[in-house]
């Protein structure tokens, strides 16, 4: 662990195991069959369906809801999975309130959309519970593709390629495959090890071999992969975290939020996970919200999120910000860190109030301090290492069309590319589309 239990103020077991189990149980209980039919009855089944347009994977939402209404949840699941093979996870973590549900006609008419996300979960969970994998592999093509990065983009790409009859080797640097779904999402959104259960289900398509502990640029090079395989797909995500640029940010007790979330997701016993009494999270996105809320759930007494711009500029949705506030997280906007104070370990974080005007972000001259024994940095990530031969655009791998890079035979998708949006559903769409393009390119 980065913060040992002996670090002053950062200790394990602030709450008993029973309380921790309750805190990290399913944040959104699943629908029952009757509840799902009642919820499906609210859909207008619009012929122009703005919800489909708002979905990055373009699921035929009115169709799957009608199938639920007709008592056919397995058929509804097939409709979902045809477009989004990780439909179960996306039903749990997608910001539906800013995507399909925000576009729902019921939202405009009544201020309460059809519960598309929960209905999607009902359908996919029903199918997975019956141990059904509704896809079969096509005839073998004789082609081998390396998929580097086993997150949402890589998993979607690997499944679609395998389904088309190609052989896939799925590689990842970590010990477990899953990427963001396994290491980067709040534990209370995916209890009962759902990420791995979904991966096990996905792998039933066959034709996908896995290799863990493979780090591009160290274990293997892109040039070696291009020589060995017919095509390469890169879904390597963003491995580096931006620095605060504040004096003292290397003090003990200051760490990256993504590392904290990953450690929590892999913890076998949450009572052994240390957390501070006074926690400060710097950032305004989903990672910041997940780190802040889970700190509270672990027993932190005071948790504060601080973002340098206004609330309207925070990338976390209003739904997530409201959830954080309900969990007891204080949210401060228009303030940026200038120094981390303490004698070895952090004790306070000093912030400067900011004004976001036509000339950009500027300090107002006023400062304040927050007490802290633990600080999480959640101010965005950057591409850790660019594989040789690839071009960058805005700090990410430049792609065109369905994920084609400027290297022949190399595709990319997900957060590491220019089209990445730090959303599971977007990564799935990009991995799926790249797979189709790879298959057509290799097999005519």
The model's pLDDT over 387-422, given as tens digits with 9 standing for 90+, comes to: 888 999 988 999 999 999 999 999 999 999 988 788
The residues, ordered by sequence, that sit 6+ positions from 211 with a Cβ below 8 Å of its Cβ are 169, 170, 171, 172
More confident: 433 or 5: 433
Residues 371 and 393 in one domain: no
Residue 2 counted as domain residue: no
Q: What is the pLDDT of residue 2?
A: 46
CA distance 121 to 76: 10
pLDDT band, residue 7 (cuts 50/70/90) = low
Residue 136 counted as domain residue: no
Residue 390's CATH number: 3.50.50.60
Rounded to an integer, the average pLDDT of 106-131 is: 95
CA distances from 76 to 33, 108, 116, 305 (A): 13, 25, 12, 39
Residues 45 and 66 in one domain: yes
Rounded to an integer, the average pLDDT of 54-59 is: 97
Residues 234 and 254 in one domain: no
Per the DSSP assignment, residues forming a β-bridge with 367 are 352
| HEC letters along the chain | CCCCCCCCCEECCCCCHHHHHHHCCCCCCCCCHHHHHHHHCCCCCCCCCHHHHHCCCCCCHHHHHHHHHCCCHHHHHHHHHHHCCCHHHHHHHCCHHHCHHHHCHHHHHHCCCCCHHHHHHHHHHHHHHCCCCCCCCCCCCCCEEEEECCCHHHHHHHHHHHHCCCEEEEEECCCCCCCHHHHCCCHHHCCCCHHHHHHHHHHHHCCEEEEECCCECCCECHHHHHHHCCEEEECCCCCEECCCCCECCCCECEEEHHHHHHHHHHCCCHHHCCEECEEEEECCCHHHHHHHHHHHHHCCCEEEEECCCCHHHCCCCHHHHHHHHHCCEEEECCEEEEEEECCCECCEEEEEEEEEECCEEEEEEEEEEEECCEEEECCCEECCCCCCCCCEECCEECCECCCECCCCCEEECCCCECCCCCCHHHHHHHHHHHHHHHHHHHHC
170-189 pLDDT tens trace = 999 999 999 999 999 999 99
Q: What is the pLDDT of residue 387?
A: 84
Residues 276 and 373 in one domain: yes
Percent of the chain at pLDDT above 90?
Answer: 89
CA 69, distance to chain mean position in Å, is 30
- The domain tally of the chain equals 3
Q: Is the pLDDT of residue 3 over 60?
A: no
Residues 107 and 148 in one domain: no
Residue 134 counted as domain residue: no
Rounded to an integer, the average pLDDT of 314-336 is: 96
Q: What is the pLDDT of residue 389?
A: 87
pTM of the model: 0.95
pLDDT band, residue 239 (cuts 50/70/90) = confident
Q: Specify the range with the lowest mean pLDDT, choosing from 64-73, 84-93, 170-179, 384-393.
A: 384-393
Residues 228 and 290 in one domain: no
Q: Are 135 and 87 in contact (CB under 8 A)?
A: no
Rounded to an integer, the average pLDDT of 230-242 is: 93
Rounded to an integer, the average pLDDT of 344-363 is: 94
Residues 250 and 343 in one domain: yes
pLDDT band, residue 36 (cuts 50/70/90) = very high
23-32 pLDDT tens trace = 999 988 899 9
Burial 335-360 (b: 16+ CB within 10 A, else e): bbbbbbebeebbbbbbbbbbeeeeee
Task: Decide which of 377, 398, 413 is a domain's last residue.
Answer: 377
Question: Rg of the Cα trace of the chain?
Answer: 22
Residues 358 and 401 in one domain: no
Q: Are 298 and 275 in contact (CB under 8 A)?
A: yes
Residue 135 counted as domain residue: no
pLDDT band, residue 4 (cuts 50/70/90) = very low
Rounded to an integer, the average pLDDT of 297-312 is: 97
More confident: 344 or 300: 300
Residues 186 and 122 in one domain: no
Q: Are 22 and 270 in contact (CB under 8 A)?
A: no
pLDDT band, residue 1 (cuts 50/70/90) = very low
Residue 5 counted as domain residue: no
Task: Decide which of 357, 377, 397 is a domain's last residue.
Answer: 377
Q: What is the pLDDT of residue 388?
A: 80
Q: Note down the domain range covering 363.
A: 10-25+243-377
Q: Is the pLDDT of residue 6 over 90?
A: no
Rounded to an integer, the average pLDDT of 199-228 is: 96
CA distance 391 to 174: 25
Residue 139 counted as domain residue: no
CA distance 22 to 84: 31
Rounded to an integer, the average pLDDT of 231-254 is: 93
Q: Which long-range contacts (CB under 8 A, 24 or more apart) does 351-354 make?
A: 351/306, 354/308, 354/309
Q: What is the pLDDT of residue 97?
A: 93
Rounded to an integer, the average pLDDT of 240-269 is: 94
Residue 97's CATH number: 1.10.1060.10
Helix axes 194-202, 116-129, angle to 10 degrees: 60
Residues 205 and 275 in one domain: no
How confident is the prediction for the chain on average, in pLDDT? 95
pLDDT band, residue 132 (cuts 50/70/90) = confident
Residues 369 and 251 in one domain: yes
């Amino acid at each position: 662990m980065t913060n040992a239990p002996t670090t002053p103020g950062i200790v394990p077991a602030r709450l008993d195991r029973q309380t921790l189990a309750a805190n990290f149980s399913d944040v959104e209980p699943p629908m029952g069959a009757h509840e799902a039919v009642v919820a499906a009855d609210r859909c207008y089944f619009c012929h122009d369906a703005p919800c489909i347009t708002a979905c990055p994977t373009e699921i035929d939402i009115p169709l799957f809801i009608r199938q639920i209404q007709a008592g056919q949840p397995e058929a509804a699941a097939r409709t979902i999975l045809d477009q989004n093979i990780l439909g179960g996870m996306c039903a749990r973590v997608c910001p539906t309130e800013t995507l399909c549900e925000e576009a729902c006609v019921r939202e405009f008419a009544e201020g309460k959309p059809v519960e598309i996300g929960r209905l999607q979960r009902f359908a996919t969970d029903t199918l997975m519970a019956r141990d059904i994998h509704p896809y079969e592999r096509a005839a073998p093509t004789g082609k081998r593709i390396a998929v580097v990065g086993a997150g949402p983009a890589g998993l979607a790409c690997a499944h679609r390629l395998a389904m088309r009859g190609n052989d896939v080797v799925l590689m990842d640097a970590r010990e477990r495959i899953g990427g963001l779904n396994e290491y980067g999402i709040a534990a209370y959104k995916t209890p009962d090890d759902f990420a791995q259960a979904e991966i096990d289900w996905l792998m039933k398509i066959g034709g996908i071999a896995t290799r863990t502990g493979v780090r591009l640029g160290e274990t293997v090079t892109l040039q070696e992969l291009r020589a060995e395989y017919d095509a390469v797909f890169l879904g390597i995500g963003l491995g580096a975290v931006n620095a605060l640029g504040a004096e003292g940010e290397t003090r003990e007790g200051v760490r990256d939020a993504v590392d904290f979330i990953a450690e929590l997701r892999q913890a076998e016993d949450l009572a052994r996970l240390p957390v501070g009494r006074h926690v400060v999270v710097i950032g305004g996105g989903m990672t910041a919200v997940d780190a802040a809320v889970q700190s509270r759930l672990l027993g932190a007494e005071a948790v504060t999120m601080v973002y340098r711009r206004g609330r309207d500029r925070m990338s976390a949705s209003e739904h997530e910000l409201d959830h954080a506030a309900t969990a007891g997280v204080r949210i401060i906007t228009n303030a940026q860190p200038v120094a981390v104070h303490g004698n070895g370990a952090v004790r306070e974080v000093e912030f400067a109030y900011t004004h976001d005007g036509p000339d950009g972000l500027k300090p107002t001259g006023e400062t304040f301090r927050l007490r802290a024994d633990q600080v999480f940095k959640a101010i965005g990530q950057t591409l850790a290492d660019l594989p040789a031969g690839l071009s960058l655009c805005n700090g990410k791998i430049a792609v065109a069309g369905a994920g084609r890079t400027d290297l022949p035979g190399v595709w990319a998708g997900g957060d590491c590319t220019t089209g990445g949006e730090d959303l599971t559903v977007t990564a799935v769409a990009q991995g799926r589309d790249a797979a189709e393009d790879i298959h057509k390119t290799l097999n005519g």
